[in-house]
Homo-oligomer: A and B are copies of this chain.
Amino acid sequence: MKQQKYITLAHGNGGRFMRSLIEDIFARHLANPRLDVQTDAVVLPEIQGELVFSVDGFTVQPLEFPGGNIGSLAVHGTVNDLAVSGAIPKYLSLSAIIEEGLEFKKLELYVKSIADAAKEAGVEVVTGDTKVVPRGFGGGIYFITSGIGARKPDLSVGINRIQPGDKIIVTGSVGDHGTCVMLAREEFGLKGDLQSDSACVLPLTEIMSQFSGLHFMRDPTRGGLATVAHEIMRARNLRVRLIEVQIPVKDPVRFVCEILGYDPYYLACEGRVVVFVAAEDASRLLKSLQSHPAGKDAAIIGEVEQGSPCVILQTELGGERVLEELEDDPLPRIC
């Protein structure tokens, strides 16, 4: 069949064009021993350890940004949800909602990015589904990935293990992804060479899982660091203290936030982990993180305290301000 340039509605109808789309683009790039595009369900090998299951949908605009695109992001997002729960990601399902008119070469770029990111993270895309929606009913393409991981049965991390006195560590600078996507939209007339932090955090979560004092990990995506702090505060009815001078924020992020009136603590990261660790293990865990390239900027940024539940930012000048729960939407469709 002569290759068409753009996706049409016929590529979603179950017939010849859809088969060609799946074979030429998805199966070719994502090929692995378990991916069988002739079946709607796949039988998987036995999982050693506890089964962990996750899902994430991706609607980022624009579809490409410095440091990644919606394809790599769709792998990192779900893989990271598994990794911060202490699991080793194993298998992904992939759903693509494609808008009529998307260029084939763009689709191929995103699917290739999925393949590359999956390979790097050690996961296989084993089952998939494609739908095509008419022009004006989508944002070019949406990807939705669901992931299966395996967790060591003896690994006990969980929000309920967080205790007063726990130190809070972040594995790198915050707000890079959110700021980078915002700049990529060019609607503010700002440009920069900032890259998204979108990445698989598995190397870091594996390092941290060695520490018995590790209590909880979460990736600060939508809503950023401040939203993770609020989740902990609510779930544990404790006070969360963040120390401004210790939170790593890159200069371009700080600069853009100052100009536009955003707070970097509410901006999405896609390759960072916020970690809650017993005080006695905090320094050693930090050193281990910093010895890995992906964790070189890791820092202890605060701690969990007794006291009326709220999220407090200890400011550079020694004052305190309350970080409220995010309400209005500073940056829609960041992931």
| Contact A133:B333 (CB < 8 A) given known A13-B326, A57-B97, A227-B14 | yes
A268 contacts across to B, CB distance below 8 A: 14
With a CB–CB cut-off of 8 A, which chain B residues contact A221? Answer: 14
Asked if A39 is at the interface of the complex by the 8 Å CB criterion, the answer is: yes
- Asked whether A132 lies within 8 Å of B54 as measured between CB atoms, the reply is no
Do B41 and A223 have beta carbons less than 8 Å apart?
no
Q: Which of A121-156 contact B (CB under 8 A)?
A: 126-134, 136-139, 142, 144, 146-149, 151
Contact of A53 with B93 in the complex, beta carbons under 8 Å: yes
Q: Are B148 and A55 in contact (CB under 8 A)?
A: no
Q: Do B96 and A151 have beta carbons less than 8 Å apart? A: no
Cβ of A163 under 8 Å from chain B: no
- Contact residue among B38, B146, B151 (Cβ-Cβ distance under 8 Å from A93): B146
Is A328 part of the contact surface with B, judged by Cβ < 8 Å?
yes
With A57-B129, A97-B97, A146-B93 as contacts: A327 and B41 at CB distance below 8 Å: no
Judged by a CB distance under 8 angstroms, whether A104 is at the interface is no
Instruction: State A8–B328 Cα separation when bound (angstroms).
Output: 10
Partner of A128, one of B55, B94, B218, B266: B55
| A47 at interface by CB-CB < 8 Å | yes
Which residues does chain B contribute within 8 Å of A18, judged by CB atoms? 222-223
Residue of B nearest to A226 (CB): B15
Q: Does A42 contact B (CB under 8 A)?
A: yes
Q: How far is the CA of A40 from the CA of B82 in the complex (A)?
A: 8
Query: In the complex the two chains form, what is the Cα distance from A44 to B218 in whole Å?
Result: 19
Q: Identify A85's interface contact among B12, B39, B52, B58, CB under 8 A.
A: B39
CB <8 Å contact, A43 and B47: no
Q: Are A12 and B43 in contact (CB under 8 A)?
A: no
Copies in the complex: 2
Report if A332 contacts B (CB, 8 A): yes
B87–A41 contact, CB under 8 A? yes
* Residue of B12, B41, B131, B218 touching A149 (CB-CB under 8 A): B41
Q: Chain B nearest CB: distance from A158 CB in Å?
A: 8
Taking the closest CB of chain B, its distance from the CB of A236, in whole angstroms, is 11
Chain B residue contacts of A207, Cβ below 8 A: none
Chain B contacts of A127 at CB under 8 A?
53-55
| Binary B-proximity of A264-301 (CB < 8 A = 1, otherwise 0) | 00101000000000000000000000000000000000
| Chain B residues positioned under 8 Å from A51 (CB to CB) | 43-47, 51, 148
User: Closest CB of chain B to A286's CB: distance in Å?
Assistant: 24
Name which residue of chain B comes closest to A159, CB basis: B38
28 contacts between A and B (CB under 8 A): A8-B329, A12-B222, A12-B332, A13-B223, A13-B326, A13-B330, A14-B223, A15-B266, A16-B327, A40-B219, A41-B52, A41-B85, A41-B149, A42-B52, A43-B52, A53-B91, A53-B126, A54-B93, A55-B95, A55-B127, A57-B95, A57-B96, A57-B97, A57-B130, A97-B97, A132-B332, A133-B142, A133-B333
